[in-house]
């Protein structure tokens, strides 16, 4: 009975039309799936190469910024190498390379010629895999020929990696010193690619016509996201740490969204490393100087008020000599916390300017509001009572507050501000002095707040 029913269905018009519709649909779905998957994978792998290229350049740029100077190799014995960048032994100082690894999910290596000296790659015991050599082909293509290269089949520890290598210029300019290397597990890349392709293959099973349209739209959308992410990474590679990642990438709940979030974490880590003082968390002198220049330009362009306060912790050297530098560091952090609580908003900025000096910038503010805020911070610092080794430490601030003339140079501005601060220090300390530089007062025309 079942065989007769099946025979009638095969030779019925309904069966023939169904076969004529389904068979071409299945064949076309397979062809579209194969072609679409191949094109999609190729595009994504190109993006992976571009991202790794940008990451490699970012690593090189960051090392140049954080550790200025040329690379130098110190060979202690056949198993002990020290690699220096400028005056810093980066073989021992691995915080920078480890932070980049943690925030970007890629492994990083630095080579002297073809020998790995610094790396985040580890063996089964957790030890860093240094003093290993690259293949002769890789050495020739990258180191000897002084060319950047991308590889999709590098074998390390029995695992396959995607890798991008970039030569490091030698100080004499005649040949390369070594290489930077960036690694991503091939299995992770393939898994990411195939997880993105899988919806496309499923749709191909159900509707050939729709599959063509959906695959194109989906591919364009993914590539568009990758292009936005590439642009963002390129901006970071160009040291534009204020770059903003498109919100729609952060909202993605897939590997692209995860990659976008990782890139944003890298941006924050790099920005903190480049712009902030490690001890206090305030802006460092470099970034503070940039903020001051921007504030001067804004004040000049829009005729806005601009005030700065140079703050010096009184008797910090005596505290260091009496209680030790750890006590002095604790006091610096406590004073910085006072500034952090009050110097909020886009028009205020607190900077660790020097060892015991802080710079406060007040944009587009009134003299009365600035004086009130400075007095409050001065009061709170004077009321600090720090317990250290069963001893109580007190301190105070000398503050030179000036209203800035935007047309003055930074050197002129700090010449006047330092003179005012020196006046505070030689006249009893623990006070706030004010001078209006827009009226070109002389050094003895200060007013005590």
Q: Mean pLDDT in each 10-residue stretch from start to end of the chain (449 residues)? A: 54 48 62 70 83 91 90 83 90 89 88 91 86 90 92 85 91 82 88 74 63 50 68 68 71 75 70 76 88 92 93 91 90 93 90 92 93 95 88 90 90 91 91 85 50
How many whole angstroms separate alpha carbon 105 and alpha carbon 250?
17
DSSP 439: G
Task: Tell me which H or E stretch contains 56.
Answer: helix 13-66
**Predicted confidence (pLDDT) per residue in 377-386, tens digit:** 999 999 988 8
Q: Distance of CA 291 to CAs 242, 408, 410, Å?
A: 13, 16, 12
Residue with the two structure tokens 């076969």: 19
Q: How far apart are the first and last CA of the chain?
A: 107
User: What pTM was estimated for this model as a whole?
Assistant: 0.45
Give the pLDDT score at 257.
76
Q: Walk me through the domains of the chain, giving residue ranges and CATH numbers.
A: 12-275 (3.30.450.40), 285-448 (3.30.70.270)
């Amino acid at each position: 009975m079942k065989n007769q029913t099946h025979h009638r269905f095969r030779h019925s018009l309904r069966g023939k039309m169904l076969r004529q519709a389904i068979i071409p649909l299945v064949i076309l779905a397979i062809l579209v799936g194969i072609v679409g998957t191949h094109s999609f994978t190729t595009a994504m792998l190109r993006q992976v190469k571009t991202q790794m290229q940008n990451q490699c350049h970012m690593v090189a740029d960051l090392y140049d910024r954080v550790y200025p100077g040329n690379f130098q190799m110190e060979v202690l014995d056949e198993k002990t190498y020290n690699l220096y960048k400028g005056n810093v032994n980066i073989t021992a100082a691995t915080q920078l390379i480890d932070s980049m690894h943690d925030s970007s999910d890629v492994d990083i290596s630095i080579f002297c010629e073809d020998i790995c000296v610094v790396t985040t790659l580890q063996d089964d015991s957790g030890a860093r895999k240094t003093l290993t050599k690259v293949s002769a082909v890789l050495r020739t293509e990258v180191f000897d020929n002084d060319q950047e290269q991308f590889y999709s089949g590098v074998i390390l520890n029995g695992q396959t990696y995607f890798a991008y290598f970039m030569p490091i210029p030698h100080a004499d300019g005649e040949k390369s010193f070594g290489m930077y290397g960036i690694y991503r597990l091939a299995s992770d890349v393939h898994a990411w690619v195939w997880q993105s392709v899988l919806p496309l293959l499923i749709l191909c099973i159900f509707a050939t016509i729709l599959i063509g349209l959906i695959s194109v739209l989906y591919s364009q959308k993914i590539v568009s996201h990758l292009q936005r992410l590439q642009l963002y990474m390129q901006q970071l590679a160009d040291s534009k740490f204020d770059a903003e990642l498109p919100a729609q990438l952060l909202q993605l709940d897939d590997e692209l969204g995860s990659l976008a979030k990782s890139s944003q974490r890298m941006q924050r880590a790099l920005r903190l490393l480049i712009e902030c003082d490690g001890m206090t968390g305030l802006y460092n002198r470099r970034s503070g100087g940039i903020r001051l220049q921007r504030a001067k330009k804004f004040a000049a362009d829009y005729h806005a008020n601009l005030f700065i306060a140079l703050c010096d912790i009184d008797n910090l050297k005596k505290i260091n000599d009496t209680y030790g530098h750890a006590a002095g560091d604790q006091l610096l952090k406590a004073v910085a916390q006072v500034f952090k609580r009050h110097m909020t908003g886009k028009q205020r900025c607190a900077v660790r300017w020097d060892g015991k000096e802080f710079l406060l910038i007040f944009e587009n503010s009134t003299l009365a509001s600035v004086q009130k805020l400075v007095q409050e911070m001065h009061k709170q610092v004077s009321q600090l009572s720090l317990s250290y080794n069963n001893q109580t430490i007190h301190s105070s601030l000398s503050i030179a507050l000036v209203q800035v003339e935007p047309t003055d140079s930074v050197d002129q501005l700090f010449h006047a501000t330092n003179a005012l601060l020196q006046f505070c220090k030689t006249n009893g300390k623990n006070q706030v002095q004010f001078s209006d530089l827009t009226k070109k007062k002389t050094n003895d025309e200060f007013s005590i707040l």
